[in-house]
Chain A
């Protein structure tokens, strides 16, 4: 099956498929070390409270307890990626209910769990803020009194409970509205979604005699684990080795630390290996969520359907710590225009602290929220103007050569083809058998964009003496299949079958830096460095072969299967193994290639746009998509059923088409959960009321649509490896908007709040505001 030489464009089976179907694949909880202790975490019982005292005696009397750490054990500077506000365990006060306040290591997981609950903490409750409005009230208690003093990586415009503010403006929004024939303005609200990766967060930390840590963890980057554990515990990075076993999904939730630093602290304290795996309830309560948002969106168009002005005011509930909130906010602000030519734009946002679980990166990264608002309004305008929703989008779609909000030029754009092929697929689909009388069917559309170029990554490649190839990138495959895709890129460049290539398991000791598996960036970013390093190896192979064969490099060619021969002369050839051996023992040294890259796309243009408070540097390699959903609404129960989906995505080039389909289908179903059922809910004391899979509803096989039809569009990205861009997030981004538009198309009523539960749909049907 995996036996073609032109590897790119073929649906290779994933490299780890056999170990996953036989149960041999090892995730962190499947690892056991001699003398290993088990860790447990104690969460706080107050949303906001001063910690007066700890009493550890009762816990220590339980046989088998080896060590306990509390916030008092960490007199270290605050840490964080964008705003340094976090401590390893609550110190001085706790600022959300469930926040880790103590951690314990014991002989047995059950003893550790029981002993953690025997720790007594004396709290002095403080008034809390549990919503955006409470946080912004004039006399609101402050979640972080020292916010002004915290180190931030960019201007943040912080004040009170406002962690960060950001804006992008273009054109002249003030005078634009008067020139619009149609204007719609609404408030959209979205909920906190939990990542609900199947594998709960966990880490195993071990310390050697020199005090050096080895940390295996469920993570999205070994390098960030190394960097952030070092920062969190104030120890040198060189004293930490971070490794990744198989990862059971991440979706952004494992992009920062969860318990790695706590397992490490307990290993350092006991000198023994410590495995700490969160229970599902703890994982809900302690890790991170998607940002709840309130978005005031206003869009105006001319009578002919030309979109003319858009204004977005975005408020995000960031929870108790900053984590990646500044970047999520910035991205939401940047994406609020949508993939359209709109001359006049004002997009502004704030993210506020509240006494709840921190919100952070989650597949889509602020884009699903603004796309729900923006794409709902595109449909509203289409309806008001009597233009088909796909036609209105085509009238305004960006093209290659156009600029994104902020002024970057788009080098490639397949949005028009996505829209036209989507329309064709929907029109060609055979109608379903008719619906029951109380059920109304409709089709809803959305269009969206995302990025895949961001931050930095590197790769090295080495040719072994048997002609096989070692690829090392530091990229963690979190389940999406990047090991396979990156192997295909190397295989194609060197005309080898993938079985001749080994893909190194990421290891912070030996793998070159990679930021993380996030932002749909791995195929594009890591693919670029794998290709560049492969080409360097190829060039060195040819030079070495020219020495051996005593001819000019120009006369040689690489042939399939690891062979170099004279152009046009069939028989004359030598193998990669012979070439590598010659290099190793006679001339020049081992054949290696290396490449490192910081995303190098066109920057924002300050002459074209006012940009303030942006939390990251250069981003880009924009991707495009359009989606159609056929849904059925039950007018009696308010229940919405998604029947069929068509989802068209411009991925530049599909390196592995079946894996692209898997991302689109899986992304859509996760987005359907976001649209219809998933909502983390907190009570008035700040307690998460639904931290189990019984109460927090993710879609099952019976909820998923009968068909999700992926449509792959390929407009080559000039800078991408073989033209490829990313597709990890886009399947989710439009889902809530497409489903909301399908509900509106079926019932003529619109739901402005996610998730669109039966209650909210019924409220909309009977005219109560959502």
Chain B
């Protein structure tokens, strides 16, 4: 790594310094250098959504994001969505609705849904389906993922 760059990233509210190759992707940095393996390498081509993270609050593909470009941005991974030994209301809703099977898409789904709820706290079912439409799930048929969010919102409205 002759051209290695020293960068400092802000990940889940913590400063992390690391040395990276100029074109290293954020997914490689998170997984192989920082041990943050929640984001998954499902296709490495930006299609499946399993590697999604929040960059400044917006969902992004970590496999298409270059780490060196992420300096000064707030990066949130699924490891940062809840305090240790706790679940966020969204995570809890996914568990309760049976929205999880193999779990490989789940981190990306949570990122997409977190971004949706941040932007639009009262989404319709169509909004939910649209929000997760660039995240592939091969197990659930999506219905219980949509229901998880809808049920959570219904419960909080009641």
> With A and B bound together, what is the CA distance between A474 and B100 in angstroms?
22
Chain B: which residue is nearest A24 at the CB level?
B38
Q: A23 contacts B104, CB within 8 Å?
A: no
A692 B45 Cβ-Cβ under 8 A: yes
Of the residues B38, B47, B110, B138, contact of A692 by C-beta under 8 Å: B47
Query: Measured between C-beta atoms, what is the minimum distance from B114 to chain A in Å?
Result: 12
Label chain B's interface by main secondary structure.
loop
Query: Are B141 and A196 in contact, CB atoms less than 8 angstroms apart?
Result: no
Contact between chains at B143 and A16 (CB < 8 Å): no
Let me know if A707 and B143 touch, CB within 8 A: yes
Tell me the B40-84 residues at the A interface (CB within 8 Å). Answer: 40-45, 47-48, 50, 77-79, 81-82
Contact check, B140 vs A249: say whether CB atoms are below 8 A apart: no
Cβ 8 A contact of A481, one of B40, B45, B101:
B101
A198 B47 Cβ-Cβ under 8 A: no
Does A280 contact B98, Cβ atoms closer than 8 Å?
Answer: no
How far, in whole Å, are A30 and B91 apart by their CA atoms in the complex?
21
Do A198 and B40 touch (CB < 8 A)?
A: yes
**A694 touches B (CB below 8 Å):** yes
Q: Count of chain A residues with Cβ under 8 Å from any Cβ of B? A: 55
Bound complex: CA of A702 vs CA of B112, how far in Å?
14
Bound-complex Cα distance A21 to B100 (A): 8
**A693-B43, A707-B143 known; A701 and B98 CB under 8 Å?**
no
**How far is the CB of A200 from the nearest CB of chain B, in Å?**
7
Query: B48, A198: Cβ atoms under 8 Å?
Result: yes
A698 at the interface (CB under 8 A from B): yes
Bound CA–CA A25/B95 (angstroms):
14
Residue pair A23, B78 in contact (C-beta under 8 Å): yes
User: How far apart are the CA atoms of A758 and B37 in the complex, in Å?
Assistant: 40
Q: Which residues of the other chain, A, contact B134 by a CB distance below 8 angstroms? A: 700
Docked pose: A24 CA to B110 CA in angstroms: 14
In the complex, chain B residues whose CB is within 8 Å of the CB of A248 = 40, 102-104
A478 on interface, CB distance cutoff 8 Å = yes
Q: List CB contacts (< 8 Å) of A1-30 with chain B.
A: 1, 11, 13-14, 16-18, 20-27, 29-30
Is B94 part of the binding interface, using a Cβ–Cβ cutoff of 8 Å? yes
Interface string of A654-687 (1 = CB under 8 A from B): 0000110110011111100000000000000000
Instruction: Indicate if A279 sits at the interface (CB-CB under 8 A).
Output: yes
Quick one: given A249-B102, A479-B103, A694-B47, are A666 and B96 in contact (CB under 8 Å)? no
Least Cβ–Cβ distance between B150 and chain A, in angstroms: 12
Partner of A669, one of B43, B82, B87, B142: B142
B144 touches A665 (CB 8 A): yes
Whether the Cβ atoms of B140 and A666 lie closer than 8 Å is: yes
Q: How large is the interface on B (under 10, 10 to 19, 20 to 34, 35 or more residues)?
A: 35 or more
Chain B residue nearest to A669 (CB atoms) is B141
Which of A18, A22, A280 touches B43 (beta carbons < 8 Å)?
A280
Verify A659–B98 contact, CB threshold 8 A: yes
- Judge whether B102 and A478 touch: CB under 8 Å: yes
The answer to whether A701 and B96 have CB atoms under 8 Å apart is no
Are A22 and B79 in contact, with the CB atoms below 8 A? yes
- Measured between alpha carbons, how far is A394 from B84 in the docked complex, in Å? 55
**Mask: chain B, 90-123; 1 = CB below 8 Å from A; 0 = not:** 0100111010111111110010000000000000
Q: Which residues of the partner chain B approach A704 to less than 8 Å between Cβ atoms?
A: 129, 141-143
Tell me the bound Cα distance from A290 to B56 in angstroms.
42
Minimum Cβ distance to chain B for residue A551 (Å):
44
Q: Do B102 and A479 touch (CB < 8 A)?
A: yes
Flag if B42 contacts A665 (CB, 8 Å).
Answer: no
Kindly state whether residue A599 has any CB partner on chain B within 8 Å.
no
CA distance A118 to B36 in the complex (A): 32
Instruction: Say whether A700 contacts B101, CB under 8 Å.
Output: no
Q: How far is the CA of A26 from the CA of B136 in the complex (A)?
A: 19
B38 to nearest A CB, angstroms? 2
A415 within 8 A of B: no
Contact B95 A21 (CB under 8 A): yes
CB A727 to nearest CB in B, in angstroms, measures: 13
> Does the CB pair A21–B91 fall under 8 Å?
yes
Instruction: For A668, list chain B residues within 8 Å (CB).
Output: 141
Q: Which of A175-208 contact B (CB under 8 A)?
A: 196-200
CB distance from A466 to the nearest CB of B (A): 23
**A480 beta carbon closer than 8 Å to chain B:** yes
**A659: nearest chain-B partner, CB-CB:** B98
Residue of A nearest to B104 (CB): A248
> What chain B residues lie within 8 Å of A14 (beta carbons)?
95, 98, 100
For the complex, what is the distance from the CA of A249 to the CA of B136, rounded to whole Å?
Answer: 13
Query: Which residues of A lie under 8 Å from residue B104 when comparing CB positions?
Result: 27, 197-199, 248-249, 479
Which residues of B pack against A, CB within 8 Å?
Answer: 31, 35-45, 47-48, 50, 77-79, 81-82, 87, 91, 94-96, 98, 100-107, 110, 129-130, 132-146
9 tightest A-B CB contacts, nearest first: A23-B38, A479-B102, A248-B104, A20-B103, A669-B141, A665-B141, A23-B78, A198-B104, A693-B47
| Chain A contact residues, CB within 8 Å of chain B | 1, 11, 13-14, 16-18, 20-27, 29-30, 32, 196-200, 246-249, 251, 277, 279-280, 478-481, 658-659, 661-662, 665-670, 692-694, 698, 700-702, 704, 707-708
